[in-house]
Structure 1
Amino acid sequence: MLLDATSRVQNPALRQRLMSAREAAELIPAGANVGMSGFTGAGYPKLIPQALAARISAENAAGRPFRIGLWTGASTAPELDGALARVNGVEMRLPYQSDPTSRKLINAGQMEYTDIHLSHVAQYVWFGFLGKLDVAVIEVAGILPDGRLVPSTSVGNNKTWLEQADKIILEVNSLQNPGLEGMHDIYYGTQLPPKRVPIPLVQVGDHIGEPYLHCDLSKVIAVVETHQPDRNSAFAEPDAVSQAIAGHLIEFLQHEVKLGRLGPDLLPLQSGVGNIANAVLAGLDQGPFEHLTAYTEVLQDGMLQMLKSGKLAYASATALSLSPAAAELFEREIAFFRQRIVLRPQEISNHPEVIRRLGLIAMNSMIEADIYGNVNSTHVMGSSIMNGIGGSGDFARNAYMSIFMTPSTAKGGAISCIVPMVSHVDHTEHDVQIIVTEQGLADLRGLSPKERAKLVIEKCAHPDYRPALRDYVRRAAEGAPGLHTPHLLDEAFSWHTRYLREGHM
């Protein structure tokens, strides 16, 4: 267990490397690839990125260009992504971001961005595909006397960063609840091809590793003590649109149980982040299903409430993503939650082999879908990144049931989220089984393209856009060169170009 409250740094050798965040930031060279902890505003270093941003700003002002490559688990918070983006300190960002300043720089062509399936990141680093990782900056909840590291509120790619980086900087956050110790399952059994062996995880609650992270202590060049909270953002209360989407989905799941394709406890749930996802989870919490489990990448408010109510028996994730109120509940009742939550590396939480084995019900959001079932979850009007694909592709391709959800319109009705052809494809029609909007639900399993188009239009499109979509399908069936997936190629993106030209589809 963690030592007394005087210090979370219990290893004598690492206590000799304690320094300020400013001093630690001085040890990161220009041009370095830096792997930082953090996943959806949880478990990211709080002080070192801000100190590094201040150093970058001073160096650039003195005429000495200074930028880094920034690798994380997923999105982080303003103290990390925002601070470094504001000083234009990032040359290459991967694998996922949600920071508005970073987004602006990426879409202006001033920051390079590689959007990667989250399950691929660790193995790409091990394969050498992304180049050398120079420095790892990792937040931990404590360092044990023997040098083992107690992970914090996210695991993400921390295991890989610690193993692969030439140098390591640890940010030890004493505000992280000591009750986190024992909540993690760090699996060290992955190997490179051709020596890979099956991952021995067959139930959501299986522990196949150990509660601690390891690192080569000789690589640790700095330890910084902090006492800073995670950045927790409040979720909006479910609105009528989100509640309608949730209602359609729960009705559908009840029908699947009635048909015998699902049991009364369903299958393990995976849920993306956001207000619609929380509305679905709130609906499940009030619904007829019992003894549910979750195998997901992020545990958010809705699942925490389901654990409290008893609807959800156990949840596996790689990170927490909680509102301030939910974070307070988690802190207050961490002993309860430690018996029902496990946090894993994202290479395990998002692993296709495990997802396929467990048979997940994957529920993710999207920006738009087309009439044939292709889904765009990353780009606005084809060329501007929003956030990234995150883990949705890991789950959609391999789940027992792949569900995508969105309101039927955006921008007050100026944009239809159901279009003739998506302006960017992240999930092809082959990976998308079910599309849900507040208008209804389209079950696309086993349907031909023309059958899918009819169902998506009638079930999911907003009534204001259905006539135009029906007209497009009718004319495509008359004039397309092939009638398997009829398209009018000179009109397929006309809705998007009209919006860009006129401000309305």
Structure 2
Amino acid sequence: MTGRIRNRQFASKIVSAEEAAGMIEPGENVGMSGFTGAGYPKEVPGALAKRVATSHEQGLPMKVGLWTGASTAPELDGALAEVEGIDLRLPYQSDPVSRAKINAGRLDYTDIHLSHVAQRVWQGIYGELDVAVIEVSGITPDGRLIPSSSVGNNKTWLEQADRVILEVNSWQSEHLDGMHDIYYGTALPPHRKPIPITHPADRIGVPHLECPADKVIAVVETESPDRNAAFTPPDRTSEQIAGHVLDFLELEVRSGRLPRELLPLQSGVGNVANAVLAGLGAGPFDGLTAYTEVIQDGMLQLIESGKLQMASATAFSLSPTAVDRFNRDTAAYRDKIVLRPQEISNHPEVVRRLGCLAMNGIVEADIYGNINSTHLMGSRIQNGIGGSGDFARNAYVSIFVTPSQAKNGDVSAIVPMVSHVDHTEHDVDVVVTEQGLADLRGLSPKKRAERIIDRCAHPDFRPLLHDYFQRAQHSSFGLHTPHLLDESLSWHHRYVQHGSMRG
């Protein structure tokens, strides 16, 4: 036995990554751990990619179905996509190689709400799960698995897979033990029971993952860091967006619609989200909590400052600097952070009960408040819907943020009609750009259009939007949601043809 593998039965199954990859057969569905570059297997995917490449050189086709929690890392997604080793990818990806293959029609991809993945796998929608490849930070003497820096769908993969390969990563802090809450109470209808979470700090499960030793076919020892992107300080645009969001929250408190400590925060990943979190650190709110998917730098800083009392998530997404700080002091964060399976961290029932304040980024919004968060020009997938839909439809307040323009001013983020719909107007409460904030609650479609154009559109595009809206009110088929059907997507067509949405 080694320091992190403290069970003899598991220790007897230690093999190399190459040997473990050799146990995965062509055509099998493989569920791998990993969520936003945290807790993914570090060695077996690369060894599997080499095996796929060798098979192809020998004229033998080999692909696998790749299922994860969310995005992973180049040494997993990128490596397997590069050698044409993936058949169907789900449920979320952000790898540039994978994205290029998907948009070239060479890799099938299905984009799923993250809270739905486990249920669909239990239903057998995607077929049998043949193999699970799961990173853990250790194995206890009695054979329980200590999760690493993400949980994601690992519980479901371990339950559903016929065979299991474990990577035990000693780079992960040993003090992660006790930070996780693995809930085994979910079931398919008609056997469901309420999920008993009424506060982000509630623990309703057990700290370890369970897996019968006889299901485990290989154990691989690793000592490799997670993929941690350097944190880019918020730019002026992000700071302006953050300022509008913080002003809105203060107004909601003054109006009595929110308590002074707000409600549990949910935040997507990115510059704007971190800018808002930084603003909260300097703002008047204390006693904050978070019920979200991912803990990133800004949330860690809020915990360290004492502003954030508790954060519940399914994974970390930290910069190298923040990771070093977290790994040095993991034990100190253990009573402030809880990591759960993503079907719990993103569960609509819990999100609605807690009244989360959801803030997510987008590609574009149209003048009536419909949101495209996944596709460029209606056809090219960027990343995926992730958990934004899980939170947006069930949040107490649903906020979507974006710079008002992109591509050096050639693309407007506010358009007559979105080229792809991920979140309908019914799930969108607030739209924010650096230009301003549009509170859409209680407004009819035409009032929403006026507010979005006036407060969120970039001045370079605002006259064009007003012109479209005014003409639509005279020539539309109906006047509830006026549209010019022959022009509603003309901005996107103009960009595809000429490289700019400008008239």
Q: Provide the TM-score with structure 2 as the length reference.
A: 0.99
- Tell me what 1:168 maps to: 164
Q: Which one of the candidate residues 154, 158, 162 is aligned to 2:150?
A: 154
- Tell me what 2:335 maps to: 339
- Tell me what 1:327 maps to: 323
Alignment pair present for 1:23 and 2:19 = yes
- Tell me what 2:78 maps to: 82
- Please report the RMSD computed on the Cα atoms of aligned residues, expressed in angstroms: 0.7
- Tell me what 2:407 maps to: 411
Q: In the TM superposition, what is the alpha-carbon distance from 1:371 to its structure 2 partner?
A: 0.1
Moved over 3 A (4+): none
- Tell me what 1:55 maps to: 51
Q: Which one of the candidate residues 279, 303, 309 is aligned to 1:307?
A: 303
Once residues 499 and 281 of structure 2 are traced to their aligned partners in structure 1, the CA distance between those partners, rounded to angstroms, is 39
Q: Which one of the candidate residues 92, 103, 110 is aligned to 1:96?
A: 92
Once residues 274 and 89 of structure 1 are traced to their aligned partners in structure 2, the CA distance between those partners, rounded to angstroms, is 30
Matches within 5 A, 1:205-216: 205-216=201-212
Q: Which one of the candidate residues 364, 372, 379 is aligned to 1:376?
A: 372
Q: Which one of the candidate residues 192, 195, 207 is aligned to 2:191?
A: 195
Once residues 486 and 438 of structure 2 are traced to their aligned partners in structure 1, the CA distance between those partners, rounded to angstroms, is 27
Q: In the TM superposition, what is the alpha-carbon distance from 1:173 to its structure 2 partner?
A: 0.5
Alignment pair present for 1:394 and 2:390 = yes
Q: In the TM superposition, what is the alpha-carbon distance from 1:473 to its structure 2 partner?
A: 0.5
- Tell me what 2:67 maps to: 71
Q: Which amino acid aligns with 1:370?
A: D
Q: In the TM superposition, what is the alpha-carbon distance from 1:7 to its structure 2 partner?
A: 2.7
- Tell me what 2:253 maps to: 257
- Tell me what 1:475 maps to: 471
Once residues 98 and 213 of structure 2 are traced to their aligned partners in structure 1, the CA distance between those partners, rounded to angstroms, is 33
1:44-103 deviations in Å (ceiling 9; x for gaps):
000000000000000001000000000000000011101111111101100000000000
Q: In the TM superposition, what is the alpha-carbon distance from 1:380 to its structure 2 partner?
A: 0.2
- Tell me what 2:135 maps to: 139
Alignment pair present for 1:283 and 2:273 = no
Once residues 131 and 113 of structure 1 are traced to their aligned partners in structure 2, the CA distance between those partners, rounded to angstroms, is 15
Once residues 236 and 177 of structure 1 are traced to their aligned partners in structure 2, the CA distance between those partners, rounded to angstroms, is 25
SS in 2 for 1:136: strand
Q: Which amino acid aligns with 1:383?
A: S
Alignment pair present for 1:455 and 2:463 = no
Q: Which segments of 5 or more consecutive residues in structure 2 lack a partner in the other structure?
A: none
Alignment pair present for 1:44 and 2:1 = no
- Tell me what 1:429 maps to: 425
Once residues 399 and 129 of structure 1 are traced to their aligned partners in structure 2, the CA distance between those partners, rounded to angstroms, is 28
Once residues 285 and 6 of structure 2 are traced to their aligned partners in structure 1, the CA distance between those partners, rounded to angstroms, is 46
Q: Which segments of 5 or more consecutive residues in structure 1 lack a partner in the other structure?
A: none
Q: Which amino acid aligns with 1:182?
A: G
Once residues 216 and 446 of structure 1 are traced to their aligned partners in structure 2, the CA distance between those partners, rounded to angstroms, is 53
- Tell me what 2:438 maps to: 442
Q: In the TM superposition, what is the alpha-carbon distance from 1:428 to its structure 2 partner?
A: 0.1
Once residues 416 and 236 of structure 1 are traced to their aligned partners in structure 2, the CA distance between those partners, rounded to angstroms, is 23
Once residues 130 and 216 of structure 1 are traced to their aligned partners in structure 2, the CA distance between those partners, rounded to angstroms, is 24
Q: Which amino acid aligns with 1:374?
A: N
- Tell me what 1:248 maps to: 244
Matched-pair identity in %: 68
Once residues 126 and 282 of structure 2 are traced to their aligned partners in structure 1, the CA distance between those partners, rounded to angstroms, is 45
Alignment pair present for 1:118 and 2:114 = yes
Once residues 353 and 230 of structure 2 are traced to their aligned partners in structure 1, the CA distance between those partners, rounded to angstroms, is 34
Once residues 45 and 414 of structure 1 are traced to their aligned partners in structure 2, the CA distance between those partners, rounded to angstroms, is 40
Once residues 98 and 320 of structure 1 are traced to their aligned partners in structure 2, the CA distance between those partners, rounded to angstroms, is 16
- Tell me what 2:352 maps to: 356
Q: Which amino acid aligns with 2:441?
A: R
SS in 2 for 1:430: helix
Once residues 17 and 358 of structure 2 are traced to their aligned partners in structure 1, the CA distance between those partners, rounded to angstroms, is 40
Once residues 434 and 333 of structure 1 are traced to their aligned partners in structure 2, the CA distance between those partners, rounded to angstroms, is 37
Once residues 160 and 255 of structure 2 are traced to their aligned partners in structure 1, the CA distance between those partners, rounded to angstroms, is 49
> How many residues were matched structurally?
501
Q: Which amino acid aligns with 1:69?
A: G
Q: In the TM superposition, what is the alpha-carbon distance from 1:145 to its structure 2 partner?
A: 1.5
Q: In the TM superposition, what is the alpha-carbon distance from 1:127 to its structure 2 partner?
A: 1.1
SS in 2 for 1:120: helix
Q: In the TM superposition, what is the alpha-carbon distance from 1:14 to its structure 2 partner?
A: 1.3
Q: Which amino acid aligns with 2:500?
A: H
- Tell me what 1:273 maps to: 269
Q: In the TM superposition, what is the alpha-carbon distance from 1:256 to its structure 2 partner?
A: 0.5
Q: Which amino acid aligns with 1:266?
A: L
Once residues 28 and 436 of structure 2 are traced to their aligned partners in structure 1, the CA distance between those partners, rounded to angstroms, is 49
SS in 1 for 2:426: coil
Q: Which one is further off, 309-318 or 332-341?
A: 332-341
Once residues 234 and 425 of structure 1 are traced to their aligned partners in structure 2, the CA distance between those partners, rounded to angstroms, is 31
Once residues 370 and 156 of structure 1 are traced to their aligned partners in structure 2, the CA distance between those partners, rounded to angstroms, is 32
Q: Which amino acid aligns with 2:119?
A: Q
Q: Provide the TM-score with structure 1 as the length reference.
A: 0.99
Q: Which amino acid aligns with 1:291?
A: G
